[in-house]
Structure 1
Amino acid sequence: MSLSEARVLYEIGNTDNCTARTLIDLLGIDAGYLSRILKRFEKLALTYRVQSQKDGRSSLLYLTALGEETLSKLNDLSDDQIRNMVIQLPERSKDSMIRGMTAIERALSDISAEQSIQIRSVLKPGDVGMLIHLHGWIYARECGYNHIFEAYVCKTFYDMLIAYNPDKDRFWLAELDGEIIGSIAIIGQNIESVQLRWFMLHPNFRGMGLGKKLFQEVMNYCTEKGYQRIMLETTEDQKTAIGMYERAGFRKISEHENHSWGSRHIEQTYELHLNEKN
């Protein structure tokens, strides 16, 4: 059986109210070629026709018991072929293939990226490495920062991990197909104060409200926990984030120039007193 024949047989077995016109539209197949396939199927007792009650000019196509058995065998052979191709692959290759196929399926369906993004707060081994990579890549691309900045980011995460305490420190990680695409965190300073840190979003996922959602998660959490003060450090080129901070009530309390990351920039410190905000 040719690939085209197998596909026609599959569609007849899996398409409701299947007609020859349905197959032509669905598969883009030539009408004459399809007619020859259907005649062969009927000769082999794989399919049969029933005149449509809605349109007497067309017939509905169905599989016979032999046709269903044949399709089942074809599916089993296809599964075995794929299994033999995949089974010898390293686990990392299998994981990459699954992520790629998931992305393709989402792109060709009605499932949007927004619907597939998950936000989690449990910090797992390897997460910080991904976050360091994202920081280095994004800030080099958008701000011109160099390896010294990446070293600074490594140092901040090192200091955090040494003293990490999930009772006072919390992450929100946006994840799609097993890859981290955004983050935000708070690090406890004392019983009243926290620092907001590592707020970033992959460029491909901006403009869909994900950054606002991550930021709101932090604000809601700090309010629920009864923190009185939130402090954060940023640079003047982070206009979108700064606008979000200021709308939430953060005030700039200091700034200074920094030339050590490969480009001149101004570091800024903001803080929010929640009791004043409320």
Structure 2
Amino acid sequence: MQAAASTADASRPVDPSQVRALRAFNRFYTQRTGLLDPYLGSAFSLTEVRVLYELAHHAPCTASELGRRLLLDAGYLSRIVRRFIDAGWITRTPSPTDARQHALSLTPEGRAAFEPMQQRSREEAARLLAPLAPERRDTLVAALARVQALLDPDAGKPSRTAVLRDVRAGDMGWVVQQHGEIYAREYGWNSEFEALVAEIVAGMIRQHDPVWERGWIAELDGERVGSVFVVRKSETEAQLRLLILSPAARGLGLGARLTDECLAFARAKGYRKMVLWTNGILTAARAIYAQRGFVLVHSEAHHSYGHDLVGETWELAL
């Protein structure tokens, strides 16, 4: 009976006052968030930025897939894509699944053009939320989720689009921040640990060898949630460093994916062994290493970061 009543309600004419209210909110929101053309003071329209966003987070994909996601006319989308190809921001390669189509991806130049706009959008959202007290922010976010769920029943199913990408400007500072915050919150480690990570990161940046070393950043729905790095210890030995995953991204297999990328890279480069150093209380990370064949070869008690710990060295023959 409830379903029948809902169907009958949906067939009733919409009250004109409700239409006016929704349109008034649309005008208010687009003005407050800077979504009117051009987008956030840039030279791009909102649609063009959406194209860049999709390619930054869901590429490679075909033009057909892109059009379905964005609900765009094929001709309009084709003109945008062509303009971005001419600018050197998008590359086209034959689709591995359909020879009649091409897969689209952002070039490094395309990412460089898009990233400032994404950061500006984050900053604008933070600016709108900043004047609100924490409880009012929670109320607003819950209301937005409710609106989305009402207009799109599938919106209640959270998107979990995970990608692993190369390290970009600003990522290394985020890696230090995440280590400091997560280990302080979950293990009570003091600032000595954050200082250690900052020193490690600084050394990796100064001495980075792009031929023999690499790092990855994990993103979930466009937000950074994890990291890992391979650094060179010798001609035959690589070291896995700074594997971390934020709590919101756990349970999705991203820690394993990050580790597997390191192993694949090390093997492709001809390293014979990979080593890592960890602490005995980090059970989730230790399980990932053990599942991939790493062997604990040395352990030693130490007092660091305000706690008594057991440091461990693990190795894997490649």
TM-score (norm 2): 0.57
Instruction: Give the equivalent residue in structure 2 for 1:109.
Output: 155
Structure 1 gaps of 5+ residues are 1-18, 27-33, 42-70
Structure 2 unmatched runs, 5+: 41-119, 130-140
| Secondary structure at the counterpart of residue 155 of structure 2 | coil
Is the Cα contact below 8 Å between 1:131 and 1:180 reproduced in 2?
Answer: no
Alignment of 1:59-208 (within 5 A): 79-87=26-34, 92-96=122-126, 104=145, 109=155, 112-113=158-159, 115-121=160-166, 123-208=167-252
Distance 1:23 1:138, change over 3 A: farther
Aligned residue for 1:175, secondary structure, equals: strand
Match of 1:229 among 273, 280, 299: 273
SS at match of 1:264: strand
Q: Distance in 1 between matches of 2:196 and 2:218?
A: 23
1-structure distance, mates of 2:179, 2:169: 17
Q: Which amino acid aligns with 1:194?
A: A
Q: Which has the higher contact order (CA 8 A, sep 6+)?
A: 1
- Check conservation: 2:227, 2:244, Cα contact below 8 A: yes
Residues 220 and 249 of structure 2 are in contact (CA less than 8 Å); yes or no, is this contact kept in structure 1?
A: no
1:23 & 1:162 partners in 2: Cα distance? 67
Contact 1:230 1:271 in 2 (8 A): yes
Pairs aligned (count)? 213
Confirm or deny: 8 A CA contact 1:174 1:183 kept in the other structure: yes
Greater Rg over alpha carbons, structure:
1
Whether 1:252 aligns to 2:296 is yes
Deviations 1:17-37 (A, max 9, x none): xx99536259xxxxxxx5xx6
Q: Compared with structure 1, are the counterparts of its residues 141 and 21 closer, same or farther at alpha carbon in structure 2 (3 Å cutoff)?
A: closer
Give % identity: 29
Cα RMSD (Å): 3.5
Instruction: For 1:81, give the aligned amino acid.
Output: F
What's 1:270 paired with?
314
In structure 1, give the amino acid aligned to 2:7.
T
Where does residue 136 of structure 2 map in the other structure? none
Q: Judging changes above 3 Å, is the alpha-carbon distance between structure 1 residues 82 and 95 closer, same or farther for their aligned structure 2 residues?
A: closer
**Mapped partners of 2:266, 2:230: distance in 1:** 9
Name the CA distance, whole Å, in 2 between partners of 1:180 and 1:239. 23
TM-score normalized by the length of structure 1: 0.65
Query: Paired residue for 2:264?
Result: 220
Task: Output the CA distance in 1 between the equivalents of 2:315 and 2:6.
Answer: 66
Once the two structures are TM-superposed, the CA of residue 84 in structure 1 deviates from its matched residue by: 2.2
